[in-house]
Structure 1
Amino acid sequence: MIFSGIMAILEGISALAKDNVFVATHNYTFQFSLTGWGWIHLILGIVVLLAGLALFSGALWARFVGVVLAGLSMIANFIWLPYFPLWGIVLIAVDAFIIWALCTGTRRAAHQ
């Protein structure tokens, strides 16, 4: 989650800086300004990063929050696909892995 949060923060900073790497799409259903997307990704990235750090405590609530935030990040990156498809697909895959990892948890051998 820490990696996903850092990548979302970088995504947000890039969008706020109005970098030339983003494609301007017209007639897209979820049309926001690039600045709006920058703030969404920056705030979501900070929250995901903080939740990733909270996972080190081993608390169950941190895992639940992590699953919810990874799901929100996945949705945000899905809607972000027309602006930067490769980055969005990679972060969707990372978020899917995060959800899988948090839901399966740590399994310890029963016969120790």
Structure 2
Amino acid sequence: MLVQVQAAVDEAATEEMMAEGQQLYVDFCAGCHRENGRGDVGPTLVNAGSLADVHGTYQRIMNGGEEMPGFGSVLSPEEAHAVGTYVMNSWGNDYGVMTQETAEAD
């Protein structure tokens, strides 16, 4: 029973994180990556194998890179985890939840 309760709590937390991440994505990312993740100014996020690198994805969100600006001055680490989780699990991607532990792992 405890395992089922924990699984339900984890699922609810993930759904909440995905919803927050989707809104943050629309607010900060869709201008370059489009709402459908297919990219325009920014590269496509559809079936993007590079998103499997959780640490790299977090670093890119916070610090930017190449032509992408960093969002560390406007997003908290928790917000970056939410948007990271959203992009890592949308448009054919299935890379799990971004947490502080996974974002800091090398």
Determine which structure has the larger helix proportion and give its number.
1
Give the TM-score normalised by structure 1.
0.30
Whichever of the two has the greater Rg, that structure is: 1
Give the TM-score normalised by structure 2.
0.31
